[in-house]
Chains A and B, each alone.
Chain A
């Protein structure tokens, strides 16, 4: 059994010693936001926050988050109470297939938490570990800037 805080709620779940956090989140815990893209920390589709810092859920064992706090895109906001980044992504229509967005939103939220007014280069650097194949990068960057402005206001 691994016990941790998931999106603000305590959870306790059966997991093999080396079972990836991603599989536990998508499996027993029933989430769909964190996504499998590569299983090797190379695309960012699975990104979650562990104690506020971005982490690759595909490559860390669920057992390693025992007692810690995990936040996924579902925990950042919901249609009723969206995170400013989610609102901004919709306002900018910043996505095509959207498969990469969960991880990008998570990474961008960590960026804005430590740097409320990032410039273009800082946003690109923070999102560089994240692959988007549809070519929505520029819209996503604009959405992060819009969310940053919203959060500073």
Chain B
């Protein structure tokens, strides 16, 4: 096709994160050896985003994917794309790169046309070579790799290919990072080995609030250095073995003054209700409606849950000539740099943060915290790189957690069986303590350094940015009168931050459970009741597809088994998902099968989307059936896998996922859409099997017995 045929871009602003980083050469460069070098600000979190970005670039430039080299995000040269989070990378970074690539293509073709005298509309591109109508190569990106061509701001009128002409974006390209991972090649920050590198471990206090009052003198192996700043204590040694052994010895020599600060773990829901906080009405609707003739009330609860990544947090840091270098699996290199600067009282310019991959990341885990830990340890040995690795106990016990929540709903039906009223109250901590956003740093160690600084209370982003605790709190269904309230608790005894779905898992559980109970009151099928109250045709489509996949209409009751449905559109603006779950009620509940119907708008990589939906849903099964952070009045006690079990191979359901193709629609992001509906579908399946309504997560024999 000629570039003149291209669809006009919508007028107005640049797409995605191009608006804030408009220079083309910040994103893209060509080299004479035949590569496209792409420098996204988003990072690989184990979900394949770099592969999707490479597909988008290869598509618009008409080059083979193998030519695309993605550089890991690093300050100060990568575009500042904030944080890789919220299932937004394809929208924010992908759409920016699509536009950048289309613009770069047009610029290069224009230059080739001028130099060759062949009209631009007659040129075509084959794997980066510019061909005249007679097949003669008259140039290439590589021959014109002069950086000056892209040293300009992106034009607003770049014209990406129309959807029907895409050949690479929209196909299941293989993950570019996976070969390294199946051959055990060094790829993770954990694998970084720098000359002269030392190893460090932290000695943690016995309580969240604790002061190191004494560290008894004692022999240390030669070459071992203690790094201490107030009550922050770490050891630096020549080997991992020495670092671990000395950390154990130091722990025995340390005396702490510790304080009880955590709520009574046996009465967490009551504590959440009674705790002071700020209250807001986040949605209110008062339209003409029939009188509510029948009402139900229900309260839902989820304890604190955590990330439980299989790898522990790790960073490498080096101080040299007044500069701090950090290698980190952070979700945002600039945000981390900002908080490191605040914590260490340095300028941003004196800190370099380079991204390297970590184990799977599902939100704000210990990645940023360990970077400050490593910096503090490395400060004791200037010039030497120091690799600091968290233990399993630190990973499960000291990373940020996702807030415990209570959701209370009172809903009413009118005489005709329509939902007439809906009152809902969400009680939660904030769901984001991410670095880089508050005048005070949010990195764990600042609470122990001298002088200690309080980590600011977690926030709930506004609904327009997806919300936090209130994410998916507003029912998607047609309801004429509703009031949705949110209380954010004023204090944060356990540090809370973003974990896959934020408030959505509990909110969707609550809404989709109440929908089933309302349907039962009308005597109507739960699918029909939902469809009758759902106006969004794409939502109706995923619900109908999931129902078809699981055989909802023809289902037969089986003793001990239950089938449940649930639906949500992530953040109300993101991807659509309906899940059907089949559970078997044995001595405990086991989820046997999941059927997932998905709509993410334009799909860049179908297999990648299916992988994300399935992985998110399995995460949801694990959260629904197993997970809760245990604690006493001082600290988290679920610090081993046996105390914080996650779903294992023997417990994983079979999963079938289908995508509804919408190539003309905007891409919507896949990473988080399925988790919340999976939780709710399991709850509804339990109700179907046992006749009891699970209202407290996780759905274990204990909580079900009191349901």
Contact = CB atoms under 8 A, between A and B. Distances in A.
Contact of B648 (A16, A40, A101, A128): A128
A9 to B, nearest CB: 16
Contact of A26 (B240, B362, B391, B615): B240
Given A93-B611, A134-B360, A98 B181 contact: yes
Interface of A is mostly: loop
Nearest to B47: A96
A69 to B, nearest CB: 17
A133 B654 CA distance: 16
B652 A38 contact: no
B119 to A, nearest CB: 43
Given A93-B611, A99-B311, A131-B641, A20 B178 contact: no
B311 A135 contact: no
Interface of B: 45-48, 172, 174-175, 177-188, 190-191, 193, 239-242, 308-312, 357-362, 389, 391-392, 607, 611-612, 614-619, 640-642, 646, 648-650, 652, 654-655
Contacts of A96: 46-48, 360, 611-612, 615
Contacts of A19: 239, 241
B327 to A, nearest CB: 15
A32 B185 contact: yes
Given A27-B239, A73-B184, A97 B360 contact: yes
A128 B650 contact: yes
| Residues of B contacting A: mostly | loop
Interface string A13-56: 00110011001001100111111111110110100000000000
A131 B310 contact: yes
Nearest to A44: B310
Nearest to B308: A133
Given A37-B312, A98-B178, A42 B360 contact: no
A72 B648 CA distance: 23
B204 to A, nearest CB: 15
Contact of A95 (B175, B308, B358, B362): B175
Contacts of B179: 79, 90
Nearest to A19: B241
B182 A45 contact: no
- Across chains A and B, which 6 residue pairs bring their CB atoms closest together, nearest first? A33-B184, A97-B46, A98-B181, A135-B615, A135-B618, A97-B360
Nearest to A97: B46
A105 interface: yes
A124 B649 contact: yes
A1 interface: no
Nearest to A31: B184
A126 B606 CA distance: 30
Q: Which of A32, A82, A101: most chain B CB closer than 10 A?
A: A32
